[in-house]
Amino acid sequence: MTEDNKINTDFNSSNFFLFLWKWRKTILIVCIISAVVSAAASFLITPKYKSTVILFPTSTNSISKALINSNAGNNQDILEFGDEEQAEQLLQILNSSLIRNRIIDRFGLAKHYDIEENSKFKNTYLMKEYEENISFKRTEFMAVEITVLDKDPQMAADMANSIANLLDSTKNEMQKERAKRGYEIVKRNYENIQLEMKMLDDSLQKIRQKGVNDYETQAEMLNQELAIQIGKGNKQGIERVEAKLDTLSKYGGIYVLLRNNLGYKTDQLNRIKGKYDEAKIDAEEYIPQKFTVDNAFKAEKKTTPVRWLIVALSTFSAFILTVLLLIFIETVYKKKIAAQ
């Protein structure tokens, strides 16, 4: 057996507890020093308080479809909670610069986080602090959790609640911008049809003033009257009826065309009226985009730092490193003794 193997065998076969007992004073001193230093250091860490808002997304994006649309298969329940897709949409909005910049401006976070105004990396430091202290996640029940950490417990609660409120307004603004554009298109089309109908109706009124009110009925009745007058041999009656037939013949075709066009436009207006009403509601009305389960409140106890955990981890780490170092020192010492 070589000397190296002999040393390793001797050490490995020794009782580990005897080894610890042998170096107990050294290990104990190091652990005590580590515990004292880590405890003192933990008091230098600024305590932070946590506030949380829990909310569920809604399944409704269009107010009109949820409330007035009667088409089968298109109805949405305005009281229904959203699913995974809606939750992910909320998370994307929460992580957007729209909300982040508003929160930074509203609460003056650059100053609050003690970031120097003239710093070259001001925005980088600000974004880092924001991401470390403000987080969003989806829970296992498809809810969205907004968490804010801050040295001021009231500010943490205010920021969490403000973010939740901004989520509502930001999503509505995004949807309203598109809804208003859609409403303008439908409204213009709706008003154009109304204008065309008025022009058609005015033209029909002018023709009616000439005695053409119902082309088909009048034509049938006048032809019957003409036959009667011819049968009687009433020349004046024949001329009178023929004059009316001439007028009917002259304006009858235009009358039928205008009447049919007016009927078509009326059907078209009835069809677009529903879209017009829906678009107007979506563009002008407002409903919350979330169900709030828990609002944030001022925390009474700090969340970080957890001093006992810091002390425990530091002491345990010091214990492990000390033991490893002592094993190394003892192994090297034995090698030197064996080499002599």
Written as one string, the DSSP assignment of 194-263 is HHHHHHHHHHHHHHHTTT-S-HHHHHHHHHHHHHHHHHHT-HHHHHHHHHHHHHHHHHHHHHHHHHHHHH
- Is residue 130 within 8 Å of 105, Cβ to Cβ? no
Query: Residues 139-165: pLDDT tens digits?
Result: 888 889 999 999 999 999 999 999 999
How far are the Cα atoms of 14, 31, 45, 267, 324 from residue 38, in angstroms, in the given order? Answer: 33, 10, 11, 81, 20
pLDDT number for residue 72: 43
Residue extents of the structural domains in the chain: 17-45+305-330, 186-284
pLDDT at 2 over 60: no
C-alpha distances in Å from residue 252, one per residue of 113, 203, 209: 83, 13, 13
Interatomic CA distance for residues 59 and 85, integer angstroms: 9
Q: Sorting pLDDT into bands at 50, 70 and 90, what band is 127?
A: very high
pLDDT in tens, 240-254: 767 777 776 777 778
Token output for 92: 């994307």
